[in-house]
Structure 1
Amino acid sequence: MTRVDEAESGRDDASSRDAGAGTGRARIRRAIRAASRPGPWKRGRPIAALALLLGLLMLLHAKIPNRIGNVGSLVETFLPWFGLFIPVLLIGALWRRSASAVVALLVPAVVWLNLFGGLLGDRSHPGGDLTVAEHNVGAGNSDPVGTARDLAASGADVLALVELTEQARGTYEDALSEAYPYHAVQGTVGLWSKLPLSDTQPVDIKMDAGPLAATQPVDIRMGYTRALRTTVSTDQGPLAVYVAHLGSVRVNPRAGFSTAHRDRNAQALGEAIAAEQNERVVLLGDLNGTTDDRAFADITSRLRSAHDAAGDRFGFTWPAEFPMVRIDQILVRGVEPTSSWVLPATGSDHLPVAARISW
Structure 2
Amino acid sequence: MTQEYTAQSVATDGEDDRSRSRVRDLLDRLRRDPGIWRRGIVLALLALLAALLMILHSHIPNTIGNLGSLNETFLPWLGLVIPLVLVLGLVRRSATALITLLLPTVVWVNLFGGLITDKSGGGGDLTVATHNVNADNPDPEGTAASLAHSGADVIALEELKASAVDTYVKALAGTYKYHSVQGTVGLWSKYPMSATKPVDIRLGWVRAMRSTVATPHGPVAVYVAHMPSVRVKLHAGFTANQRDKSADALGEAISHEPLDQVILLGDLNGTMNDRSLNAVTAQMRSTQGAAGDGYGFSWPAAFPLARIDQIMVKGVEPTSSWTLPRTDSDHLPIAARVELR
TM-score over 0.5 for the pair: yes
Measured in 2, the distance between the counterparts of 1:36 and 1:119 equals: 43
Is 1:49 equivalent to 2:45 in the alignment? Answer: yes
Structure-2-length-normalised TM-score: 0.89
Q: Identify the match of residue 265 of structure 2 among 278, 284, 289.
A: 284
Counterpart of 1:111 in structure 2: which amino acid? V
- Give per-residue Cα distances to partners, 1:315-336, cap 9 Å, x unaligned: 1111111111111100001101
| Alpha-carbon contact 2:125-2:217 (below 8 Å) kept | no
Counterpart of 1:302 in structure 2: which amino acid? Q
| Alpha-carbon contact 2:153-2:189 (below 8 Å) kept | yes
SS in 2 for 1:341: strand
SS in 2 for 1:57: helix
SS in 2 for 1:309: helix
Measured in 1, the distance between the counterparts of 2:71 and 2:258 equals: 35
Measured in 2, the distance between the counterparts of 1:262 and 1:48 equals: 36
Is 1:184 equivalent to 2:165 in the alignment? Answer: no
- Give per-residue Cα distances to partners, 1:138-157, cap 9 Å, x unaligned: 10001011011110000100
Is 1:315 equivalent to 2:296 in the alignment? Answer: yes
Offset at residue 39 of structure 1 (A)? 4.0
Counterpart of 1:245 in structure 2: which amino acid? H
Measured in 1, the distance between the counterparts of 2:33 and 2:158 equals: 63
Offset at residue 59 of structure 1 (A)? 0.8
Is 1:165 equivalent to 2:161 in the alignment? Answer: yes
SS in 2 for 1:131: strand
Counterpart of 2:289 in structure 1: which amino acid? D
SS in 2 for 1:257: strand
Offset at residue 43 of structure 1 (A)? 3.0
Structure-1-length-normalised TM-score: 0.85
Match of 2:10 in 1: none
Counterpart of 2:257 in structure 1: which amino acid? E
Q: Identify the match of residue 121 of structure 2 among 101, 121, 125.
A: 125
Measured in 2, the distance between the counterparts of 1:234 and 1:343 equals: 23
RMSD of Structure 2 on Structure 1 (CA): 1.3
Match of 1:350 in 2: 331
Is 1:246 equivalent to 2:227 in the alignment? Answer: yes
Counterpart of 1:103 in structure 2: which amino acid? I
Match of 1:231 in 2: 212
Measured in 1, the distance between the counterparts of 2:76 and 2:32 equals: 41
- Give per-residue Cα distances to partners, 1:168-224, cap 9 Å, x unaligned: 0001111111100001111111100000000001000001x4xxxxxxxxxxxxxx2
| 1:212-231 to 2 correspondences below 5 Å | 224-231=205-212
| Alpha-carbon contact 2:43-2:97 (below 8 Å) kept | yes
Counterpart of 1:57 in structure 2: which amino acid? L
User: Where does the alignment leave 5 or more consecutive residues of structure 1 unmatched?
Assistant: 1-33, 210-223
Match of 2:192 in 1: 196
Counterpart of 1:195 in structure 2: which amino acid? Y
Is 1:294 equivalent to 2:275 in the alignment? Answer: yes
Offset at residue 36 of structure 1 (A)? 9.3
| Alpha-carbon contact 2:250-2:280 (below 8 Å) kept | yes
Match of 1:24 in 2: none
When structure 1 is superposed on structure 2, of 43-52 and 176-185 the one drifting more is 43-52
Offset at residue 241 of structure 1 (A)? 0.4
Q: Percent identity, aligned pairs only?
A: 61
Counterpart of 1:178 in structure 2: which amino acid? G
